């Protein structure tokens, strides 16, 4: 389920990153978004889905959506 395909541009491994939706006292404390990002600092390819965060989705669904979107994108 958590198998992420490599970056379609450089072939490097990627990471699923859990990012908080608050900074200091601003934002939605306790809420996160999930981003899949290439680990190659020269590539910086990433996918970030709008409204795919824990405000609108449960944690497991948000992770699953990000992984599925990356793997679908990587096939093209």
- What range defines the domain where residue 50 resides? 14-74
Confidence class for position 2, pLDDT limits 50, 70, 90: low
Half-sphere exposure in the Cβ direction for 11 (13 Å, CA): 0
Query: How many separate domains does the chain show?
Result: 1
Backbone angles phi, psi at 56, to 5 degrees: -100, -20
DSSP 39: S
Q: pLDDT tens, 12-61?
A: 999 999 999 988 777 888 899 999 999 999 998 999 888 899 988 999 99
Residue 4 falls inside a structural domain = no
Residue 3 falls inside a structural domain = no
Residue 53 falls inside a structural domain = yes
Residue 54 falls inside a structural domain = yes
């Amino acid at each position: 389920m958590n198998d992420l395909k490599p970056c379609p541009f450089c072939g490097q491994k990627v990471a699923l990153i859990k990012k908080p939706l608050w900074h200091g006292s601003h934002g939605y404390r306790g809420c996160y978004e999930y981003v899949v990002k290439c680990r190659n600092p020269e590539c910086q390819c990433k996918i970030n889905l709008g409204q795919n965060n824990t405000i609108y989705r449960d944690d497991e669904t948000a992770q699953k959506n990000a992984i599925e979107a990356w793997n679908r994108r990587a096939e093209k």
